[in-house]
Chains A and B, each alone.
Chain A
Amino acid sequence: MKTLLENKTNTVKVGVVIIALALLVTLPNWGTRGMIPIFTLIMIYIAFGQMWNLLSGYTGLVSLGQHAFIGLGGYALAVSSERFGLPLYVGFIMAAIVSFLFALIISVPIFKIKGVYFTICTWVVAHSLGLFLSTLAFVNYAIGINIRATFRLPTSTIYYVALGVAIVSVLAVYLLLRSRFGLGLMAMRDDEDAAEARGVALYKTKLKCFLISSVIMGVAGAAMFMNLGFILPASAFGIDWTISMVIIVIVGGKGTIEGPIIGAVILVMLRQWLFDFPGYSMLILGAIAIILILVAPKGIMGLVHRFTGAEFFSVRRRPKRITEPK
Chain B
Amino acid sequence: MQSVLSAQDLAISFGSNHVLKSVSFEVGQPEILGVIGPNGAGKTVLLNILTGILKPNSGTVHFMGRDIANIKITERVRIGLGRTFQIPRSFENMSTYENILVGGVYGDNIKEKEAGRQAVEIAERIGLSSHINTMAGRLGLLDRKRLEIGIALASRPKLLMLDEVAGGLTESEIADIIKIVKDIKAQGISVIWIEHVLQTMIDGTDRVMCLAEGQNVITGLPQEVMQSKIVNDVYLGVDEDE
Contacts and interface: CB of A to CB of B under 8 A. Distances in A.
A180 B107 contact: no
A152 interface: no
B151 A198 contact: yes
B25 interface: no
A308 to B, nearest CB: 15
B92 A180 contact: no
Interface string B54-77: 000000000000000000011001
A187 B95 CA distance: 11
Give the interface SS of chain B, mostly helix, strand, loop or mixed.
helix
Contact of A197 (B51, B105, B133): B51
A316 B120 contact: no
B98 A195 contact: no
Interface in B96-110: 97-98, 101-103, 105-109
A249 to B, nearest CB: 16
A294 to B, nearest CB: 20
Contacts of A189: 93
A193 B133 CA distance: 24
Of A194, A197, A255, chain B has the most CB atoms within 10 Å of the CB of A197
A193 B53 CA distance: 9
Contacts of B117: 320
A322 B98 contact: no
A205 to B, nearest CB: 10
A199 interface: yes
Interface string A153-184: 00000000000000000000000000010011
A191 B91 contact: yes
B91 A186 contact: yes
A191 B73 CA distance: 15
Given A183-B112, A317-B97, A200 B102 contact: yes
Contacts, number: 89
A196 interface: yes
A198 B107 CA distance: 5
Nearest to A199: B106
A257 to B, nearest CB: 14
A25 to B, nearest CB: 33
Given A180-B112, A191-B89, A195-B91, A200 B98 contact: no
A112 interface: no
B218 interface: no
Given A183-B101, A187-B102, A322-B120, A199 B93 contact: no
Contacts of B74: 196, 199-201
B91 A197 contact: no
B151 A317 contact: no
A318 interface: yes
A312 B166 CA distance: 39
B126 interface: no
A293 B74 CA distance: 34
A190 interface: yes
B119 interface: yes
Contacts of A191: 89, 91-92
Nearest to B96: A319
Contacts of A322: 120
B189 to A, nearest CB: 17
Contact of A317 (B73, B90, B98, B109): B98
A303 to B, nearest CB: 15
A200 B92 contact: no
B83 interface: yes
A200 B89 CA distance: 14
Given A187-B91, A322-B120, A196 B73 contact: yes
Nearest to B136: A190
A186 B99 CA distance: 10
Contacts of A200: 74, 102, 106
B222 interface: no
19 contacts: A180-B105, A183-B105, A184-B105, A186-B98, A187-B94, A187-B102, A190-B92, A194-B89, A194-B90, A195-B91, A195-B102, A197-B77, A197-B85, A199-B107, A199-B155, A317-B116, A319-B116, A319-B119, A319-B120
Closest 5 CB pairs of A and B: A199-B106, A190-B91, A194-B89, A199-B107, A199-B77
Given A197-B51, A198-B102, A319-B133, 18 more contacts: A183-B101, A184-B106, A187-B94, A190-B91, A190-B93, A191-B89, A193-B53, A194-B89, A197-B53, A197-B77, A197-B85, A199-B107, A317-B101, A317-B116, A318-B97, A319-B119, A319-B120, A320-B116
Interface of B: 51, 53, 73-74, 77-78, 83, 85, 89-95, 97-98, 101-103, 105-109, 112, 116-117, 119-120, 123, 132-133, 151, 155
